[in-house]
Amino acid sequence: MPYNTELDSAFIHVSTWSSPYLTYIDYETLKTKGLDIIQNDSIKKGINYIYNYLSRPNDFEALKENDEFINILYNNIRFRMVE
């Protein structure tokens, strides 16, 4: 759909989204206390996967110039500062 100024009222809710994931600090604290405090193996594996998974972009130089990606990074930084 094309941009419409009526969408502006919906965009305000984007900044109120809260991540369902642990923050990096939460994860580090959990590692310090020990992942063994989590009894459910699938949850334990899922948490480990989220924070230890690595990925590589197909074209790093293009990604650095991609406005959509840059916006996602800025939003992630802002959300993590609030948490």
* pTM: predicted TM-score of the whole model, two decimal places: 0.40
How do residues 33-75 score in pLDDT, each as one tens digit?
888 888 999 988 888 887 777 767 788 889 889 999 889 888 8
DSSP sequence for 12-61: GGGGG---SSPPHHHHHHHHHH-GGG---HHHHHHHHHHHH-----S-HH
Distance between CA 58 and CA 15 in Å, rounded? Answer: 29
Q: Name the residue with tokens 């100024």.
A: 5
Domain boundaries, the chain: 5-82
Distinct helix (H) and strand (E) counts, the chain: 5, 0
How do residues 21-33 score in pLDDT, each as one tens digit?
667 777 788 888 8
